Chain A
Amino acid sequence: MSEDVVALSAAQAAERVRAGELSARELFEVYRDRSASDELGVYLWVAEEAPEVVSDAPLGGVPLAVKDLFCTKDVPSTSGSRILAGYTPPYTATAVENLVRAGAAMVGKTNMDEFAMGSSNENSAYGPVRNPWDTSRVPGGSSGGSAAAVAAGLAPWAIGTDTGGSIRQPAALCGIVGLKPTYGSVSRYGMIAFASSLDQCGPLTRDVTDAALLYRHMVGRDDCDSTSLQHPEEIRLPSSESLEGLRFGVPPALLGEGIEPGVREVFDATVARVEELGGLVEEVDLPSATHGLSAYYVIAPAEASANLARYDGVRYGLRSGNGDLTSMYEETRHDGFGAEVKRRIMIGTYALSSGYYDAYYGRAQRVRTKIAEDFREAFERVDLILTPTSPTVAFELGARTKDPLAMYMSDFLTVPMSLAGLPAISIPGGLSDGLPVGIQLAGPAFSENRIMEAAYALEQSIGFEGVPR
């Protein structure tokens, strides 16, 4: 029975529970037991008991894995950092609350790159996560735990966060669906901040329908987040089988060197498939997008350097030092932060410091304006933009840890949408040497319905099979 249950998509499982054909408790226990025997390093915390769920709730008590970056009341929330070891927040993130209210049952908290800084999940203070397709490889990051959990059937679905690609890239590397929604459409309240003007949470799921269902119950304007917005559309479950009349833009600027041949192959095949399904493909110019990564690596670290200043050993988390104030600050932060976090705090502090602000932060914000304008112009001509999600498939553990810049390149294709606050989805497009390749579909702000309809049509046509089990 347990394997049958695990084979169900989250939406299917929810339907069965709501129809009285499946017990939410049993479903929870199946996943809890699987989670407890997790060998991929996916979970940092697993629930012991199934929470009480109203059985006719829309999400039917289907278990949910939650990235450890979300604050969950009285449940450890570490953001993958040693500096928050043992921290149990006094409140719960709005997105999690919304989902729980809709009937989701939190089964565990997932591993991640520390403070969401990373593209391989190797920056977690609590050990790496392994890719279920090949355990010698990384799952991507920073939502690596959530992506691997869904891919490995350790959770029916999960939520993660995406600042420069942290949902889409691990979804791509793990062969699942990951949606980075429009900035502001889901409340950030309770998401441990990395880069506030970019952070956005979204679903990581086995298929597009699950993504739509989960996202539907995450959205909403929140009084606790000044930057949250009401989504102008009801989120629909996608049903379209055709791409008739949809215009797709392919940006050559982003498809130059650095894209692995195997990835390029799957992408080209996808472009052909789009046309087969009735879509119109044309080239679009995104002249500034190639500078996205540079701008991103100023803006995100700058905001992070301030967001991470609160970890000072006073109110929560780790405290080190020899008893004087300066040493409390410097030692706590020395002991509590990992190498990548320190690196970004240093870049960000430098970029904001006196004499450098205009050259770095000021310029980066202007590049951001240019990138947003590029997209605006592009979306006057096309409905969606199509790219690979990641330039490469999942790489070996340790392959890029010595070379930060090479690691940063993982986000080359996802960062431009983040800077413009636009929604984008990654769906599995096929395999390259037995490893999944993700395809990214991006649209204008609040075009999630359009994106997911198109993604669904492609998904049906591609017929991607998950991790061989």
Chain B
Amino acid sequence: MIDREQVLHVAKLARLRLSEEEVERMSEELSTILEHVERINELDLEGVEPTSHVIDVENVLRPDEPRPCLPREVALANAPDATDEGFRVPSPGG
């Protein structure tokens, strides 16, 4: 069961404001989903290694050779708020 406090805590971690109504709904829905997900507890997983990757390769490395960078105006083109030189953001702690 995911209670309201947990919903708010997780939303904070995810930097997601939830409306009052979303908080309510989320608490219910997450509980249902997680209940279903918890069926994996039925399986005996003793000694089973986790798989984070299905492909079995190692050491995919790139030679240390420069590739072209973006022109600055292209880098900044999609920014919602930019100066001539960079991406403007509210100051942390400001």
Contact = CB atoms under 8 A, between A and B. Distances in A.
Indicate yes or no for A touching B, C-beta below 8 A.
yes
B79 A315 contact: yes
A240 interface: no
Contacts of A364: 37, 40
Given A288-B43, A325-B91, 6 more contacts: A315-B87, A316-B80, A319-B81, A346-B26, A363-B45, A372-B51
Contact of A297 (B36, B50, B62): B36
13 contacts: A183-B54, A305-B14, A315-B87, A324-B94, A326-B15, A328-B90, A346-B30, A347-B34, A350-B6, A365-B50, A365-B52, A404-B33, A405-B33
A101 interface: no
Contact of B50 (A305, A343, A369): A369
Interface of A: 86-88, 90, 183-184, 197, 223, 226-227, 229, 288, 291, 293-295, 297-298, 305, 309, 312-319, 321, 323-331, 333-334, 337, 339, 342-343, 345-347, 349-350, 353, 360, 362-370, 372, 404-405, 408, 419-421, 445
Interface residues of B, number: 54
B66 interface: no
Contacts of B18: 334, 342
A328 B89 contact: yes
Most chain B beta carbons < 10 A, residue from A330, A346, A368, A421: A346
B30 A347 contact: yes
Given A197-B52, A197-B53, A328-B90, A317 B78 contact: yes
A445 B55 CA distance: 10
Contact of B15 (A312, A318, A343, A365): A312
Contacts of B53: 197, 227
Interface of B: 2, 6-7, 10-11, 13-19, 22, 26, 29-30, 32-34, 36-43, 45, 48-55, 57, 60, 62, 70, 74-75, 77-81, 87, 89-94
Contacts of B7: 346
Given A346-B14, A367-B40, A404 B29 contact: yes
B51 A368 contact: yes
Contact of B48 (A87, A226, A366): A366
Contacts of B51: 365-366, 368-369, 372
Contacts of B80: 313-314, 316-319
Contact of A372 (B16, B54, B60): B54
A86 B80 CA distance: 10
B94 A333 contact: no
A321 B43 contact: no
Contacts of A323: 90
Contacts of B19: 334
A102 B10 CA distance: 46
A370 B70 CA distance: 44
Nearest to A299: B52
A408 B51 CA distance: 22
Given A90-B74, A315-B79, A345 B14 contact: yes
B77 A353 contact: no
A334 B17 contact: yes
Nearest to B39: A294
Given A197-B53, A317-B78, A353-B13, A291 B33 contact: no
B16 A197 contact: no
